[in-house]
Amino acid sequence: MRKWFKSLTAVALALSLIGGATSAASAASTLKGSIVINGSSALLPLTLQASSEFKKLNPKVKISASAAGSITGPQAVRKGIADIGAVDWDASIDVPGFKKFDGQVANPVAVTVFAAIVHKDVKVNSLTTKQLQDIFSGKITNWKDVGGADEDIVVVNRKFGSGTRVNFQMKALSGTEFMSKGDNYKEVGSSGDMKTTIETTPNSIGYIDLPYVTTKMKALSINGVAPTEKNVLNGTYKVWGIGYFMTKGKPTGATKAFIEYIQSNTFQNGSLKKLKFIPLASVKNLK
């Protein structure tokens, strides 16, 4: 009986301590509000990581993040569905294929590195730009033509409106058109779908940003250069882009604080780097 009572006291004490701790934290930050983020799935790992850290510091801010491809970001902001539209290109200016979004401000948040990826059993480790162009336009259809086994190539593409697709097409394929039909061709809706499809489909090839690369797939070197932070910074690996958070006008309130948190040195050199994004400051001198 005594023992039971003792443990109960301990639990009660622990509970009150936890309660005290949370109330202390909420007293520390008076920032309130809710932030809705939509758009690029390439940036989603960063958004999720940042929001879980930001919510710890500011418990009264609610953040909900989802992703369905870059173009949905600025469009959701225009329609007023989202406060932040994550996008893999600067949507405040015209880019090939996409008109600018008037009245939106592009807040740079990270450098994203994109890589061609294959299923882990594919023997090929490196492809030239020409070979990539031929594979993604449907001219090369068998792995043996690029030094692999005698197997059909399954091409997995992102759907229209993906920022990863735009960056990969411009920078890895030098603007070559993608194929759009075929028995061994399919389109997926987000980076997460791309990851699952490449992991589970033998002989498949696709492309994704580095945070999604797992051991069940292989990131290819392009023209012999591996997709690493080092190679981006020394200027040899070209397939990367800056990710932006689009806001309606200049960001305010909780949204402003959240973007500033992501742009802060602590986050840029800490969690962001760990996720395999590259801090904005390191690429200032590139290009």
Partner 1 sequence: MIEMNSTAQNAPAELGNSIRTGSGPSFDRRTRLRWANSAFRIACIAAAGFVCLVLFGILFLMFRTGILTFQEVGFAEFFFSTDWDPENGHYGALLFIYGTIALTALTLIISVPFSVLIAVFLAEMTPKWLRNTLRPVLDLLVGIPSVVYGYLGLTVLIPWLRDLTGKPLADGLLAAAIVLTIMVLPTISRVSDDAITAVPKKYRDASYALGSNRFQTIFRVVLPASSRGIVYAVILGMARAIGETMAVVMVIGNTAQIADSLFKPTAVLTSNIVMQISSVEFDSTWNYALYMMGFLLLVISLLMIVAVRFLQKKGASE
For partner 1, the closer of residues 175 and 183 by Cβ is 183
Site track for partner 1 across 124-163, x = CB under 8 A = ---------------------------xxxx----xxx--
> Which one among 80, 183, 284, 287 touches partner 1, defined by CB under 8 A?
183
CA distance 274 to 134: 34
Does 180 bind partner 1 (CB under 8 A)? Our answer is yes
Site track for partner 1 across 199-218, x = CB under 8 A = -xxxxx--------------
Distances (CA, A) of 200 to 3, 4, 18, 187, 215: 54, 52, 43, 15, 12
Does 10 bind partner 1 (CB under 8 A)? Our answer is no
The one segment of 13-21, 181-189, 206-214, 241-249 that binds partner 1 by CB under 8 A? 181-189
CA distance 239 to 90: 16
The one segment of 103-111, 166-174, 178-186, 205-213 that binds partner 1 by CB under 8 A? 178-186
CA distance 211 to 233: 17
Question: In whole angstroms, how close is the CB of 247 to partner 1 at the nearest point?
Answer: 19
Question: In whole angstroms, how close is the CB of 97 to partner 1 at the nearest point?
Answer: 7
Does 72 bind partner 1 (CB under 8 A)? Our answer is yes
Question: In whole angstroms, how close is the CB of 270 to partner 1 at the nearest point?
Answer: 32
H, E, C per residue of 42-98 = CCHHHHHHHHHHHHHHCCCEEEEECCCCCCHHHHHHHHCCCCEEEECCCCCCCECCE
Question: In whole angstroms, how close is the CB of 68 to partner 1 at the nearest point?
Answer: 5
Q: CA dihedral in degrees (129, 134, 135, 137; nearest 10)?
A: 120
> What's at 84, amino acid-wise?
I
Q: What angle do CA 37, 278, 209 make, to 5 degrees?
A: 65
- Residues contributing to the site for partner 1 (CB under 8 A): 68-69, 71-72, 75-76, 78-79, 97, 151-154, 159-161, 180-189, 196, 200-204
